[in-house]
Amino acid sequence: MSANPSAVPTSRPGENAIRAPFAAMADVRALVGDAAADALPTLANAENCYPVTRADLPLSCPMPSMSLWNSHPRVYMPILEQGGHSRCPYCGARFDLID
């Protein structure tokens, strides 16, 4: 008996629960509200571009404010020596010095 491709489920039970930690911050805010979302750590590798200040130096990716459980190893980047812009060699996130 051959399997019917149209009968194969497109998602597994609980798949949405697995993807929940990777939701965009806007989705998190919609689910828990602004005040609760502000209390959460920044999701590592959730954005492509991060504005940083001199208070964030030395600059690392992931930054200390980011959750680390689903991220790559921490790498430090010389943003001052690179003209105020740096890119993470692991995830490609761009960091722009704004002050």
Residues with Cβ within 8 Å of residue 79, at least 6 apart in sequence:
52, 57, 59, 85, 86, 95, 97
pLDDT digits (tens, 9 = 90+) for 67-95: 777 788 999 999 999 999 999 999 999 99
> pTM above the 0.75 mark?
no
pLDDT digits (tens, 9 = 90+) for 43-57: 556 668 999 999 999
Distance CA 52, CA 84 (A): 9
Contact 49, 61 (CB under 8 A): no
For the chain, give the mean pLDDT.
73
Residue whose C-alpha is closest to residue 50's, from 79, 28, 82, 26: 79
pLDDT digits (tens, 9 = 90+) for 19-51: 444 445 556 566 766 666 566 556 556 668 999
